[in-house]
Amino acid sequence: MELNADFKVRVVIHSDQVEWTASPMPGVDRRMLDRIGDEVARATSIVRYAATSQFSAHTHTGGEEFIVLDGVFQDEHGDYPEGTYVRNPPTTAHTPGSEPGCTIFVKLWQFDMEDRNQFRKTMADELAAPVGGVALAELHRDAREVVTYSEMDPGAALVNSNVGGIEMLVIAGSAVEGGETLGKGAWLRLPEGQPLNIVAGNDGAKVWIKTGHLRHAKAPTI
């Protein structure tokens, strides 16, 4: 399966307008944003766990990165409330689920295969003092990519010209990019060479941004 697999074009998906599709596990549904592969895939998705649902135990051969958007994600390693950012690199394993239910934004098979840096962070705890109405947290940086979280005041502007492609998820509020309003749940992917210029809406914005990674995009290797 290929979905939004051309990384040389701009893509916007207003995820709240996308129908949920069932995963192989009862009670776990997803909205696919981009994908190369079938059940083993380089994938970016929004995944919803119904209350008391659970996914079977598995190893993340290609790594997993996710944000908890609402509720509480859980596995044998602990509870992950709303606003948590997690990196589970290649070779890590767990049995995910959620007793109260939750929604996560998740990326699979997008790690350096030698990466072993596993961690979790509360994104808001990492924020620096605001500059020009934008409070920025650098969540992760390595030779391949930079991951940030920003909280923007109404009308504040954010520019990012990092090379290697840019991806953004609007977690709350809204932002205008290229004349288009991106509300909560909107996902934007810009190709390498195209900078990001956004202005927060009247309600401000909370955005997650990853840069540099698209030049490494490829199908998973088994």
Q: How would you write the pLDDT of the chain (222 residues) with one tens digit per residue?
A: 999 999 999 999 999 999 999 999 999 999 999 999 888 899 999 999 999 999 889 999 999 999 999 999 999 999 999 999 999 999 999 999 999 999 999 999 999 999 999 999 999 999 999 999 999 999 999 999 999 999 999 999 999 999 999 999 999 999 999 999 999 999 999 999 999 999 999 999 999 999 999 998 888 876
**Contacts made by residues 130-135, CB under 8 angstroms, sequence distance 24+:** 132/156, 132/157, 133/157, 133/200, 134/158
CB 77 within 8 A of CB 88: no
Same domain, 113 and 193: no
Q: Is 112 part of any domain? A: yes
Residue 63 lies in a domain: yes
Distances (CA, A) of 156 to 167, 168, 174, 198, 203: 19, 16, 11, 8, 11
Examine the domain organization and report whether 67 and 137 are in the same domain. Answer: no
For 154, the domain range is: 122-216
Provide the pLDDT for residue 99.
97
Say yes or no: 113 and 26 in one domain: yes
Say what the pLDDT of residue 19 is. Answer: 95
In this predicted structure, what is the pLDDT of residue 165?
97
The pLDDT assigned to 36 comes to 94
Beta bridge pairs of residue 97? 54, 74
Q: Answer yes or no: is 12 within a domain.
A: no
Q: What is the pLDDT of residue 222?
A: 60
Residue 129 domain flag: yes
Please state the domain count of the chain. 2
Q: Please say which residue of 117, 136, 155 terminates a domain.
A: 117
Domain contains 159: yes
pLDDT at position 40: 85
